[in-house]
Amino acid sequence: MAQRWQWRLDLGGRPLLTIYDLPVAVLIFAVIATLVHLASTITSPPPPEAQAIDLSPLKLPYYAFRSLVRMFLAYGLSLVFTFFYGSLMASSRRAEKILGPLLDVLQSVPILGFLSVFVASLSVLMPNTALGFELSAILAIFTSQAWNMTYAFYQAVRSIPRDLQEAAKTMGLSRLQRFFKLEVPSAIVPLVWNTMMSFGGGFLFLSASEAITVLGRDIRLEGMGSYFATAVEQLDYQAIAWAIFAMILLIALLDFFFFRPLLSWAQRYGQGSALEANYESAVLLALRRSRLASIIKDKLLVPFLNFLFFRMTKPPNLPVVAQSSRLRRTLLILALLLLVVLLAILAYQAALALADMLKEISLEMVIRLIGLGFFTFLRVLACVVLSSAVWLPVSLYVALHPDFAMKLRPLLEFGASFPANLFFPLLVMAFLALGIPLTFGSAVLMFAANQWYIAFNVIAGALSVPRDLAEASEAMGLSFAQKVKNLIFPCIFPYWVTGAITSAGGAWNVSIISETLQFGSQTLECEGLGAQFTQATTSNHWPTIILNIVLMSTFVILANRLLWRPLYNYAITRYGGET
């Protein structure tokens, strides 16, 4: 049927263009139009304070486009950070001892903390354009996407069998070749699944990133986040409903044009489990059959990558490569020395500023914030318990009925990418109607936003149960309790620990939007470090902002080292799991 739509020249009967080239041409035009739009944004003046956001549903397509551009730019930065940081952390035990705790600290810093720093610096460096605020929003979204992707890549690389690593070295593959031919393929599947969760995390904090209300500022960038934040502040239920509908439609389009092609392409690198296999994508099929896409890949993309990473195309023992390696090593050392000098200067200036700020911090304030931190810590634990109570029974059923995972897959995909905070107003209305204080309701909001980390991991653990052992236990007539104790739990527990660690880390960040909520003219708050942090960033009180960041990072690191890390090590040594 497609042959009717092919235009042929006298090129040996080969089609010049096919019907499959039409969507590729549209995509190219959309990318060019987006680049032109970005160029106009760079030169536009900064948005005014308290810029009015039009709540007309007719504006939603444009707002969705603006937000989606920011999301993809942040995702691109997240990929670059993931490949560089995760590969470096996995390749060296010495680097891991430094970069691992540093990543824990970065994950524990709330998005409003990063946003305060970005706005304070970029708006000063770029005072006459909107670029400073746009970059602040993009970098804030980046901080909600990058950390879990980096952890996933690091764990996937660390799980590569040693014999494969030794074989790659024996074959004479360079470090860059091992990265592209071994590490990236091994991490493709977890990276794709974490891409969906990263987009969900980006959408979750979209309101905080686009409706910038830190440091005494009130900047509303045009986008879905500002639209929803304004609708909630004005208690415009119709606009809230339109925002939820638009987000559902946007995620459906993302699934069709982006997530589904990625999953379909990545299943070649998977192990064939029910969560990885049998994906089909019309978009990927069109790309594979498009001659225009083939021309772009063969004539532009591949030569560019070969030029960028020219060592991939040369044998590793050529003298020119050795010389270029020495030159690159020298340039890298010089760049690192320059970076160290700049960081030392910045650290000195920051120490002077911090010394002045510490004069405003009293011991009583520190003790009070530590107490608030314990309240938030209890809610984080409650979030993990609630998520486990919901998804562990489901995973036990999946372990005994693996085909059920296929029915769960659409729910997991949608839940991972949909921002739960869009339903926060409905949940808050239910809390108010039932008389549930936000002290307890905040844990429910955390659960709604972070349950998917545990869900994905325990379902994957259930699917890792060996089928031959499951059939043998059935033939032996073991009871359900015996199957769980001797077969299912040892497979699921290491995955549950990984999910609990990431869910707890995410819950600390969600505390800034679950412990304080703007509901019309009413502000709902509960005692906690997240609510205190939101107040500090809104009032532009840097001593309290810094103290909150330090305390929240300390709580997360202590929880990781004293609770989650021992559990992780126990799971590995006791059950031999590789998570």
- Taking 60 as the threshold, does the pLDDT of residue 13 lie above it? no
pTM of the model: 0.81
In 3D, which of 506, 504, 497 has the Cα closest to residue 569?
497
Listed residue (38, 46, 50) closest to 220, CA to CA: 50
Residues ≥6 apart with Cβ < 8 Å to 399: 462, 463, 465, 470, 487, 488, 491, 492
Q: Report the pLDDT value the prediction gives residue 131, as an integer from 0 to 100.
A: 83
The set of residues, in sequence order, having a beta carbon less than 8 Å from that of 284 and lying 6+ positions away, is 260, 261, 264, 265
Write down the mean pLDDT value for the chain.
80
Please state at what angle helix 542-559 crosses helix 93-108, rounded to 10 degrees: 130
Cα radius of gyration rounded to whole Å, the chain: 25
Handedness of CA 436, 439, 442, 447 (dihedral sign): negative
Check residue 379 and give its pLDDT. Answer: 94
Give the up-direction half-sphere exposure of residue 527: CA atoms within 13 A in the CB hemisphere: 9
Res 376 pLDDT > 90: yes
Q: What is the dihedral of CA 71, 72, 78, 82, to 10 degrees?
A: 140
The residue with tokens 């769980």 is: 484
What are the start-end ranges of the H helices in 7-130? 21-43, 60-81, 87-91, 93-108, 111-125
State the first-to-last Cα distance of the chain, in angstroms, to the nearest integer. Answer: 47
Tell which wins on pLDDT, 496 or 351: 496
Rounded to an integer, the average pLDDT of 337-359 is 71
**H or E element that contains 254:** helix 237-254
What's residue 384's pLDDT?
A: 94
Distance CA 396, CA 402 (A): 10
CA distance 184 to 201: 23
pLDDT band at 273 (very low <50, low <70, confident <90, very high): low
Give the span between the Cα atoms of 376 and 531, in whole angstroms.
Answer: 9
Cα separations (Å) of 567 from 74, 495, 573?
33, 11, 10
Q: What is the pLDDT of residues 114-170, one digit of tens each?
A: 887 788 778 777 777 788 888 888 999 999 888 888 888 887 888 777 788 788 778
> Which of 10-24, 372-386, 427-441, 503-517 has the lowest average pLDDT?
10-24
Condensed to tens digits (0 to 9), the pLDDT of residues 38-77 reads 777 767 777 777 677 889 999 999 999 999 999 999 999 9
pLDDT at 24 over 60: yes
Q: Mean pLDDT, to the nearest integer, of 269-287? A: 71
Among residues 418, 6, 106, 109, which one has the least CA distance to residue 247? Answer: 418
473 has a pLDDT exceeding 90: no
- pLDDT, position 4: 43
Question: pLDDT at position 16, please?
Answer: 63
Are 577 and 494 a contacting pair, CB within 8 Å? Answer: yes
- Token pair 């536009």 is at which residue? 44
Measured from the Cβ of residue 397, the count of other Cβ atoms closer than 10 Å reads 13
∠ Cα 504 109 155 (to 5°): 55
HSE-up (13 A, CA, CB side) for residue 153: 29
The rounded distance, in Å, linking the Cα atoms of 382 and 165 is 41
pLDDT at 443: 92
What average pLDDT does the segment 496-516 reach?
Answer: 86
Q: Give the pLDDT confidence score for residue 274 in this predicted structure.
A: 55
Lowest-pLDDT range of 50-64, 135-149, 297-311, 458-472: 297-311
Phi, psi angles (nearest 5°) of residue 361 = -100, 125
State the pLDDT at residue 64.
92
List, in sequence order, every residue forming a beta bridge with 127; answer none if it has no partner: none
266 versus 258: the higher-pLDDT residue is 258
Q: How far apart are CA 349 and CA 440, in angstroms?
A: 42
Are the CB atoms for 556 and 505 separated by under 8 Å?
A: yes
Distance between CA 356 and CA 546 in Å, rounded?
12
The strand pairing partners of 522, in sequence order, are 519
Token digits for 572? Answer: 């590995």
Residues 537/112, Cβ–Cβ less than 8 Å: yes
Q: For residues 51 and 211, what is the distance between their CA atoms, to the nearest angstrom?
A: 10
Q: At what angle do helices 60-81 and 131-158 cross, to 10 degrees?
A: 50
Q: In a 10 Å sphere around its CB, with 0-12 CB exposed, 13-18 middle and 19+ buried, how is residue 445 labelled?
A: buried
Q: How confident is the model at residue 325 (pLDDT cuts 50, 70, 90)?
A: low
d(CA 250, CA 67): 11
CB atoms within 10 A of CB 423: 16
12: left (phi over 0), alpha (psi -120 to 50) or beta: left
Q: What is the pLDDT of residues 531-570, one digit of tens each?
A: 888 888 877 777 888 888 888 888 888 888 888 888 878 8
* Crossing angle between the packed helical segments 131-158 and 93-108, to the nearest 10 degrees: 140
Output 123 or 349, whichever has higher pLDDT: 123
| pLDDT confidence of residue 322 | 47
| Model confidence pLDDT, tens digit, residues 224-252 | 988 998 888 888 889 999 999 999 999 99
Average pLDDT over residues 209-214: 79
- Lookup: tokens for 297: 């890949």
pLDDT, residue 162, reads 79
State both tokens at 21. 């080239």
CB 79 within 8 A of CB 531: no
Single-letter amino acid, residue 560: N
Residue type (1 letter), 527? E
Q: Rounded distance, CA 533 to CA 539, Å?
A: 10
Report phi then psi at 236, rounded to 5.
Answer: -90, 95
Contact 133, 46 (CB under 8 A): yes
